[in-house]
Amino acid sequence: MDPIDMQVTDHNCEYLGLSRLCLMENAGKSLSDEVATLSTFTFSKPVKIVIFTGSGGNGGDGFVAARHLLNRGFSVDLCLLKNDDEIKFQDALTNLKVLRNLNPRVSRLNINYLKDSSEIDKLDIAFNNNFSESIIIDGILGTGIKGKIRSKERRAIEVINKSNALKVAIDVPSGMNPLTGEVLDVCVKADYTVGFHKVKTGLKIASEDIVGGLITCDIGIPLEAELFVGDGDLLKLKNRSNNSHKGNNGSLLIIGGSKEYSGAPGLAGISAISSGVDLVHVATPESAATPIKSYSPDLIVHSLKGDYLNLNNQEEILNLVEDVDAVLIGPGASQNDETKKLFNILVHKIKKPIVLDADALKLVNRKLISKRNDIILTPHNNEFKQFYQDIIHEEGLTFDDVSMRFDNLNYKTVNDKLTFFQSVTNSIEGVTVVKGESDFIFQGSKVKINTTGNPGMTVGGTGDCLAGLTSGLLAQGLNVFDSASLATFLNGKAGDLAMDKYGYGFAASNLSEFIGKLMDGV
């Protein structure tokens, strides 16, 4: 599992009501169980445990383990590289404070704050004298490591490596990149690494010299925490750089609108802006251009000849595509033969990430896009059935099988439904978002479920908002699967906030006012 996915899952546990303090407790307890077992197998008599801790969650696991190991009768020396003020991870600090509160202390616990490298040098001497009958637990750095190892941490790692104690790393040996397994500078050479939930990607690649024996412990994260989209998925969005320029945070082209429909591309455009994209262009027939311009001064509207998008607009549209990062095709386009021809040529010629929504789903030929892994489709149930009708028949499925009603279904039927949908959506390499009471996001073997939203969202235009958000995130560089997943979450959550403020009378145009704040969520 990638460390970023692990962080997302941690946050999403919190969103489901499972606190990280609780996960840390489970992690520290499992670690203590493993250390006790290793101790029994490796040594003939009780040994001393020395735990090095840093300022993050990794150290927090160490504090919890200390408490459990004391209860098992071990004598524990805590070596803190950071004092209480420097520990920014609240749950870690909470667990350290529990240990500090054991005063006067009857258990065999020593808490040593290693102020500077000279204090670590003193430990070096102690370790050289008599540490073969000890276990050192490394809780200095885990998945939160960034950049070059700072000098104090570096020195501690060197001292740990020099000692002849049995070394157990928490989650990842400190110094190793948990994603790539690379070691830029120094790294704890562990005899065992005790990881949590799932093996971090880097540990599978790194040399055994560093990782030692790999033990993975379950810490009670439910399957759904990985499956459901939550505000943790916002972590995947790169932070905006302080010195970024206009356009650095993405630009989007929306191709849509017609004589009858000008609201749809407008709503999609405003939603895209609320997701943080810098520039949104709208290419639309002249009959829709003026209403869209007057709807919002934030959109750059390009007026194209005709009442409907048509083949004569092709060159102008392709020129506009050159300057953007992603393209949304479909909102408000209406259905006619000329628009159909244009859309099928565009999906063939545009080599940038594309979102297909609304009328585009009825006009574009599935076979033309089946090999593209940079495309997102956002159908509701009926559009889904129409777009995939030949596959549904080929698979011997019925429309009922792919009907997204999940009420009163048990886990078996839910799993069967997901399998049906997967077998159909697997016929394309891109992402399919099936919108409904819950939204389902499929790409190959990957599935995500979004549970935000409410019945008020059946009001016209919320689908356009979703398409705008999805393409806005795509334009900011998020991959297709993550863009689609996060957009469903944000759109539904904005609907829930709109419902709180306006009741069932909210309109699609109310959603965008909530998105900006939601994006600050983690």
Ligand X SMILES: NC(=O)C1=CN([C@@H]2O[C@H](COP(=O)(O)OP(=O)(O)OC[C@H]3O[C@@H](n4cnc5c(N)ncnc54)[C@H](O)[C@@H]3O)[C@@H](O)[C@H]2O)[C@H](O)CC1
Cα separation, 28 vs 114, in Å, equals: 22
343 contacts 329 by C-beta, under 8 angstroms: yes
Cα separation, 395 vs 379, in Å, equals: 20
Binding flag, residue 250, ligand X (CB under 6 A): no
Q: Which of 144, 220, 444, 477 binds ligand X (CB under 6 A)?
A: 144
462 contacts 358 by C-beta, under 8 angstroms: no
Nearer to ligand X by Cβ, of 30 and 284: the residue is 30
Neighbour order of strands in the sheet with 75-80: 109-113, 75-80, 48-53, 134-139, 166-170, 192-196, 213-217
| Among 381, 375, 385, 380, CA closest to 348 | 375
Q: Which of 47, 54, 292, 340 binds ligand X (CB under 6 A)?
A: 54
Cα separation, 486 vs 44, in Å, equals: 53
Q: What's the sign of the alpha-carbon dihedral 285, 287, 291, 293?
A: positive
**Peptide linkage before 104 cis (omega within 30 of 0):** yes
Element (H, E) at 375: strand 375-377
Tell the residue number behind the tokens 């392709």, with chain if given.
318
Q: Which of 47, 80, 165, 169 binds K ion (CB under 5 A)?
A: 169
Q: Which of 13, 149, 170, 515 binds K ion (CB under 5 A)?
A: 170
Q: Which two tokens stand for residue 419?
A: 């399998």
488 contacts 511 by C-beta, under 8 angstroms: no
Q: Which two tokens stand for residue 160?
A: 């740990």
Region binding ligand X by CB under 6 A among candidate stretches 102-110, 143-151, 243-251, 430-438: 143-151
Nearer to ligand X by Cβ, of 52 and 388: the residue is 52
Tell the residue number behind the tokens 């520039």, with chain if given.
279
Residue 422, judged by CB atoms within 10 A of its CB (0-12, 13-18, 19+), counts as middle
Q: Which of 15, 63, 89, 420 binds ligand X (CB under 6 A)?
A: 89
Q: Among residue numbers 172 through 191, which ones bind K ion (CB under 5 A)?
A: 174
Q: Pick what 169 binds: ligand X, K ion, none; C-beta below 5 to 8 Å, kind-dependent.
A: K ion
Cα separation, 386 vs 392, in Å, equals: 9
Nearer to ligand X by Cβ, of 194 and 494: the residue is 194
Nearer to ligand X by Cβ, of 56 and 492: the residue is 56
Q: Judged by CB under 5 A, how many residues of this single chain contact K ion?
A: 5
Nearer to ligand X by Cβ, of 17 and 396: the residue is 17
Q: Which of 41, 106, 118, 146 binds ligand X (CB under 6 A)?
A: 146
Q: Pick what 514 binds: ligand X, K ion, none; C-beta below 5 to 8 Å, kind-dependent.
A: none
Which residues of 7-147 form beta strands (DSSP E)?
Answer: 48-53, 75-80, 109-113, 134-139
Binding flag, residue 168, ligand X (CB under 6 A): no
- CB 102 to K ion: min, Å: 24
| Among 420, 457, 8, CA closest to 230 | 8
Binding flag, residue 24, ligand X (CB under 6 A): yes
Binding flag, residue 138, ligand X (CB under 6 A): no
Q: Pick what 495 binds: ligand X, K ion, none; C-beta below 5 to 8 Å, kind-dependent.
A: none
Q: Among residue numbers 62 through 121, which ones bind K ion (CB under 5 A)?
A: none
* Chain position whose Cβ is nearest to K ion: 174
- CB 451 to ligand X: min, Å: 21
Q: Which of 11, 12, 27, 281 binds ligand X (CB under 6 A)?
A: 27
Binding flag, residue 149, ligand X (CB under 6 A): yes
Binding flag, residue 20, ligand X (CB under 6 A): yes
Binding flag, residue 56, ligand X (CB under 6 A): yes
Binding flag, residue 155, ligand X (CB under 6 A): no
Nearer to K ion by Cβ, of 192 and 384: the residue is 192
Q: Among residue numbers 110 through 149, which ones bind K ion (CB under 5 A)?
A: 138
Task: List the x/- string, 9-48, binding to K ion by CB under 5 A.
Answer: ----------------------------------------
- CB 139 to K ion: min, Å: 6
Cα separation, 386 vs 399, in Å, equals: 10
Tell the residue number behind the tokens 């928490």, with chain if given.
170
- CB 140 to K ion: min, Å: 6
Nearer to ligand X by Cβ, of 136 and 149: the residue is 149
Contacts with 325 (C-beta within 8 Å, 6 or more apart), sequence order: 250, 251, 252, 352, 353, 474, 475, 476, 477
Could you list the residues that contact ligand X (CB under 6 A)?
6, 10, 20, 23-24, 27, 54-61, 88-89, 141-150, 153, 170-171, 196-197, 219
Could you list the residues that contact K ion (CB under 5 A)?
58, 138, 169-170, 174
